[in-house]
Structure 1
Amino acid sequence: MLSPALCARLRDALLDHGFTTTGVRDLLGHGAHAALTRGELEAPARATREAGELGALVRLFLLGAAEEKPPLPALDELVSGGLLTAGPAGYRAAMDLRPYGEEETDWYVLSDLDTPAARQDRDHVTGVGGASLTLASSLVRTPVVDTLDLGTGCGVQALHASRFSARVVASDVAPRALAVARATLALSGVSGVELVEGPWLAPVADREFDAIVSNPPFVPGPGRVEYVYRDSGRAGDAALAGLLADLPARLRAGGRAQLLGSWLHVRGEDWPDRVRSWIPAGCDAWILQREVTDPALHVGTWQRDAGLDLSAPATRAAASAWLDWLEAERVEGVGFGFLLVRKRSDGGPGEIVVEDLQGELADPLNLEMAQWLDRMDWLRAHRADDALLGARLRLAPTATLETYATASEEGWRDAGSAVVLADGPQWRHEVDAPAAALLAGCTGALALEELIALLAFAHDRPTDALVAATLPAVREFVRHGVLVPA
């Protein structure tokens, strides 16, 4: 693997030639860059023809082409370090190296090549895929002293954690993954990350952290390990359940953990109760299911991800065995989503919320996750009805009221209304006329109890009955950010 000194020289060369996320995007232009993200290579190849040294780097690392003499230092060392191969046609990339970053950062992520043959290697180190990006976009950025990146892989989450953590520890069970992560960090100019080897939380069994992030092997199936990045070795979703049980012991009071996970929808069981039961006492938790797949799609998706020929007899036999296992376990579907867990600082009982995302995400979830924690604190402080009634609330500026109608013999007939947020998860709540009027009146000028009294008078309803009907809805509105403290 590449030495730290060589990584530093390589980083300088890549930056000097403009091989950054911005530089590549500007070189290719919108159309060719979009084609590259779809895996279409001809348009970006054409865009690099007259692009000099930057064009050569794009062809070498992003298009898989051979370059006679790449504009890089110490080519022999890059070959011996495993980044390049040398042949009659010139040098080719032997590993995946690509620019990456967020605001005001120029990072580089090293990983194994994403080819069908490479993905079938048991110790394959994946790069920046959909799951990595999904988790990274959800991370709470509130500054902390130290963060554990559990199962770091190529080091993507450790890069992000370095932005909001004074110290970062990255662990993995695979020595090759740690070697790749070490090179990723060095190429990105990120220093001070401690890399530790071992399974799950064993390498940090005597330590506590302010934050833990993890994109663990979360693919439910029989208890085996075919691919280290994907399979936990425990049957079904038992590994996720076990990890959630163990996490609070590694968190300081008030610490948070964020991870991706999958859970089984078992015939005869309520899936929210199933996942809720995994959260230890004394923890707040938000489990947000993003999608559900049926067993056949689940198996096909992960066999395709491994680069297998789905029509090959061996692949079909493996699929059959996997489907047999799912059927024997009475699995009707497999859920996937986000988990946010916070250890209560006062040791009190936690609040566990399990729900589905209602549509496509319009924005990254990181702000929503941070605000959810703040909202839960506010709701806990206003748990008593009197405290909530005395609060002043405002309607979120991105909230809109939608009304809809159905056709009838007399024409359109009003069928209902819903308040919808235009940002974040775009939460949607059905509302009746009094609830819509209450939301419109939440301008921060009056306490909630005053608004309810006015509504009771306007709609000729008993105040006590309206309070009893309103407060649970108000708590839901606050939890989803439809209403915010004034």
Structure 2
Amino acid sequence: MEQSASDLIALCDDLREALIRCRYDADTLLETLGADAHSALGRSEPVPVRRAARDAGDLGTLIRLFLLADTCSRADVAAALHPLDLDRALAAGLLEPDGDGVRAGLDLRPLDTGAGNRWILSDLDGSIRPRPVDADHVIGVGQASLSLLQAIPTDPVDTLLDLGTGCGIQAVHCAGFARSITATDVNPRSVRLAAATAALNGLDIEVVQGSWFEPVADRTFDRVVANPPFVVGSAAVDHSYRDSGLDLDGASELVVSGVPDLLNAGGTAALLASWLHVDGQDWRHRVASWLPDHGIDAWFVQRDVADPALYVGTWLRDGGLDPRDHETQLRAEQWLDHLDGADVVGIGFGFVYLRKIDGPTEVLAEDLSHGFADPLGPEAIAYFARSEWLREHDVVDARFRIEPTTALERVYRPGEEGWQQVVARLHRGSGPAWQHEVDDLAIALVGGMRADGLVLSELVELLAAAHGEAVTTELTTAAAALVTSLVRHGLVLPA
């Protein structure tokens, strides 16, 4: 039976007291389980976790109850949740009766979102204890949520919108840097659980039900974050957390094209999105077409591209379906037929960063599928700052300095006369670890940059003289284009 949001919210103060008393937080969880059992938890292997929690008292009971979906005795759970009354927890749907004992009715897990411990309430995902995935299922701490969480800029803002909040994980994370937060979702169950997640963490977050942009019509924000239902498929909704009811990549197009109207001047957005790779088309042109001609600086970061078969199989398993089942195979056939009918050869996935500007829209869409460790959030803000500088300055009249982590790499292979260079690259050792192939002239040009040195036009003149060449428009234009790309990626910086 569906319970009201007020039932869960009403018990959050007592529940928080119990969680604090038991030290049910991210750091203590790792300390108690140890690295090996904690890794087993991430792999959905319950036995090592259960063994590690065996002698952990009330904390061990909470681990078994909420992280392993075990049935526990009423006495043990009552002791662990004190001062929360067991019957209140059952009535609110936090717990469910199971024979003589009780088990979790909701997933409740600690998470360090970067601003200290938070607790996240969501539906049980079946990873440990198999269970059906309902249409209004509210997904919890999943990989997509975690990737967006790590990619959101955390510089302070006044107002923030979490569009399609789900369980509220992004909203509670953003409370660490945003003064006022509004979270929306079309799913009433998501609204209920997001409101309870906020209350459990003692946060004042406005949570509103409604479809897409309707709940915030005529409002604007300093930042918008969104993990929309971006799964590429037919215009059907099997699970609201992933299916939009819009065909193919229509959900991503709707969000990317609509968010600019929600931004204040200078406001930014961080979004998860998917886009089609259509036979004979450049995916970068596709995503750029989603934006207005004026007013947006956009950075599309493609982190992965999946072939249709892998994509369909992954999302069918995500819905709890067995690929060996005949009905599942029929659905896979229909899904792949739909993609094939649209000439889809791949599905891209990644982040979209937007900034509201006063000028023609600028778009950089690039593939960053290589590995890098630094989060993208701070880099997005730095990227927009560099982009703004480029709009306001002529690079040929400016001085530059080399970013401290930028290195020159040369690759050699054996040849008939010994080692022969095959490529030279400038490689930035921070952020997304960009690389730019360069020739000897470009190497000399960048090597001559000093904060108190020559402006770019003077450097070009010096290099041309050193090589016995005249300074031409073509040479200056090529140097300006090179430096512009290096500045945009942060390998060199304005002095």
How many Å separate the matches in 1 of 2:420 and 2:275? 41
Match among 254, 258, 262 for residue 266 of structure 2: 254
Higher deviation after alignment, 472-481 or 244-253 = 244-253
Q: 2:310 aligned to 290, 293, 297, which one?
A: 297
- Between the aligned partners of 1:82 and 1:89, the Cα distance in structure 2 is 17
1:105 maps to which of 106, 111, 116: 116
Alpha-carbon shift at residue 123 of structure 1 (Å): 0.5
The answer on whether the counterparts of 1:403 and 1:418 sit within 8 Å (CA) in structure 2 is yes
1:22-44, CA deviations, whole angstroms, 9 ceiling, x for partnerless residues? 11111122222122212222222
Identity %: 46
The CA distance in 2 between the partners of 1:4 and 1:227, in whole Å, is 25
In the alignment, structure 1 residue 140 sits paired with structure 2 residue 178:
no
* Alignment partner of 2:55 out of 50, 60, 67: 50
Structure 1 range deviating more: 449-458 or 67-76:
449-458
* Equivalent position of 1:265 in the other structure: 277
Quick one: which of 246, 250, 254 aligns to 1:234? 246
State the match for 1:485 in structure 2. Answer: 494
Other-structure match for 1:462: 470
1:165 to 178, 183, 199: 178
SS of the equivalent of 1:109 reads strand
1:67 corresponds to: 72
Deviation larger for 447-456 or 322-331: 447-456
Q: Which runs of 5+ in 2 are unaligned?
A: none
Query: 1:352 Cα deviation (Å)?
Result: 0.8
Does 1:361 pair with 2:372?
A: yes
Q: Matches of 2:322 and 2:154 in 1, distance apart? A: 41
Match of 1:392 among 396, 399, 415: 399
SS of match in other structure, 1:137: helix
The match for 1:417 is 424
Please state how far the C-alpha of 1:102 moved relative to its aligned partner: 2.9
Q: Which amino acid aligns with 1:214?
A: A
- Structure 1: which amino acid aligns with 2:19? L
Kindly state the Cα deviation for residue 118 of structure 1 after the two structures are TM-superposed: 4.3
- Answer yes or no: is 1:449 the counterpart of 2:454: no
Distance 1:64 1:403 in 2: 54
- Kept after mapping to 2: 8 A contact 1:114/1:126: yes
Question: Which amino acid is the alignment partner of residue 416 of structure 1?
Answer: V
1:114 to 114, 119, 125: 125
Amino acid at match of 2:116: T
Q: 1:27 aligns with which of 18, 28, 32?
A: 32
Q: Which residue of 2 aligns with 1:213?
A: 225
> Which amino acid in 2 is paired with 1:87?
D
1:200 aligns with 2:200: no
- Structure 1 residue aligned with 2:298: 285
Matched letter for residue 117 of structure 2:
D
Deviation at 1:179, TM superposition (A): 0.3
SS in structure 2 at match of 1:131: helix
Contact 1:395 1:484 in 2 (8 A): yes
Q: Does 1:8 align with 2:2?
A: no
Distance 1:410 1:62, change over 3 A: same
Match of 1:189 among 192, 199, 202: 202
Summarize the alignment of residues 324-403 of structure 1 with structure 2, pairs less than 5 Å apart. 324-344=337-357, 346=358, 348-382=359-393, 387-403=394-410
Correspondent of 1:243 among 209, 231, 255: 255
Deviation for aligned residue 1:103: 3.6
Structure 1 189/101 Cα, relative in aligned 2: closer, same or farther at 3 Å? farther
CA contact (8 A) 1:400 1:421 kept: yes
The residue number in structure 2 matching 1:81 is 92
Look up the equivalent residue of 2:313 and give its one-letter code. G
- Give SS of 1:437's match: helix
1:83 and 1:93 in contact (8 A); partners too: yes
Partner Cα distance (1:439, 1:226) in 2: 54
Listed one character per residue, the Cα deviations across residues 181-211 of structure 1 (whole Å, up to 9, x for unaligned) are: 01111111212x1111111001111211111
Which stretch of the first structure deviates more once superposed, 37-46 or 309-318? 37-46
Distance in 1 between residues matched to 2:148 and 2:101, nearest whole Å = 38
The one-letter code of the counterpart of 1:308 is: L
Q: Distance in 2 between matches of 1:3 and 1:224?
A: 31
Give the Å deviation of 1:375.
0.8
Residue 82 of structure 1, CA deviation: 0.9
Question: How many pairs does the alignment contain?
Answer: 479
**Kept after mapping to 1: 8 A contact 2:308/2:344:** yes
Note if contact 2:113-2:149 (Cα within 8 Å) is conserved in structure 1.
no
Q: Give the distance between the partners of 1:111 and 1:467, measured in 2 at CA.
A: 58
- Take 2:264 and 2:164, find their aligned partners in 1: how far apart are those partners? 20
Give the TM-score taking structure 1 as reference length: 0.95
CA distance in 1, matches of 2:326, 2:355: 46
- The answer to whether the Cα contact below 8 Å between 1:358 and 1:426 also exists between their aligned partners in 2 is no
**403 and 449 in structure 1: CA distance in 2 versus 1, 3 angstrom threshold:** same
| SS of equivalent residue, structure 2 residue 482 | helix
Q: Which runs of 5+ in 1 are unaligned?
A: none
Query: Residue 449 and residue 35 in structure 1: after superposition, are their counterparts in 2 closer, same or farther (change >3 A)?
Result: same
1:91 maps to: 102
Deviation at 1:438, TM superposition (A): 2.2
Instruction: Provide closer, same or farther for how the CA distance between residues 37 and 94 of structure 1 changes in structure 2, counting only shifts above 3 A.
Output: same
How many angstroms apart in 1 are the aligned matches of 2:219 and 2:316? Answer: 37
- What is the CA–CA distance in structure 2 between the aligned matches of 1:461 and 1:319, rounded to whole Å? 63
The letter of the residue matching 2:339 is L
> TM-score normalized by structure 2?
0.93
Listed one character per residue, the Cα deviations across residues 118-144 of structure 1 (whole Å, up to 9, x for unaligned) are 453111100011111111111122222
* CA-based RMSD: 1.6
1:104 CA drift (Å) = 4.2
Q: Aligned equivalents of 2:131 and 2:494: distance in 1?
A: 52
Change (3 A) 1:210 1:484: same
The one-letter code of the counterpart of 2:262 is R
